[in-house]
Structure 1
Amino acid sequence: MVNKAGGWTFLTSHARVLLVIARDPTLTLRQVAATCRISERTAQAVVADLEQAGYLHRQRVGRRNQYTLHLEGTFRHPAEAGISVRALVEIHDNRKAGTAPPPA
């Protein structure tokens, strides 16, 4: 049973923001924040972190930002060294499409 009052989740805000932007790279920060259920200020800080780490690039297009993801980067934690961020995005895309691989 999942503890709904628990203080932790499996995905960090960084992972959630990356996955939301992967789904739609034209979203505003306000939309990203609302989808991830975080503040705009947190969303802005997370995007800055992801950009500084090389996972995404933002470019101004008119009055909005457009994001380009660099999915060949690998996870930062040594336990997941060598696993590309693309793998996370593909798992998430498969889950959304209802085509997730069967459990091992």
Structure 2
Amino acid sequence: MIFFGYTIGEWTEVISIIGVGVSAGSWLFKKIALDPLRSDIQMLSDTINRQLKLHEQSLADLNAHLKTHDDELGSHSVRITRLEDHIGIKGEDNHED
């Protein structure tokens, strides 16, 4: 049987050659472009995750430091109020002009 001037065997050969060429091209593209890209993306992801952990730790440290300052500020406010009461000074809220 002849189709467009070629036999079924010849069409099979052409299709097989094209298939092998496409497969080889696909494999080469994967090895040359995709594998290095995947490797770079993985390294970038690992770096971002490390940075995120460092920033989370810094934020936790900053929050602890802020809580310490808030506690000290509250303590100072109480102590100042007690001193004002002890020596008879009116607070700024009760100050008359």
Q: TM bucket by the smaller chain?
A: under 0.3
With normalisation by structure 1, the TM-score equals: 0.17
Report the structure number with the largest CA radius of gyration. Answer: 2
- The structure with the largest helix share of the pair is 2
- The structure with the largest strand share of the pair is 1
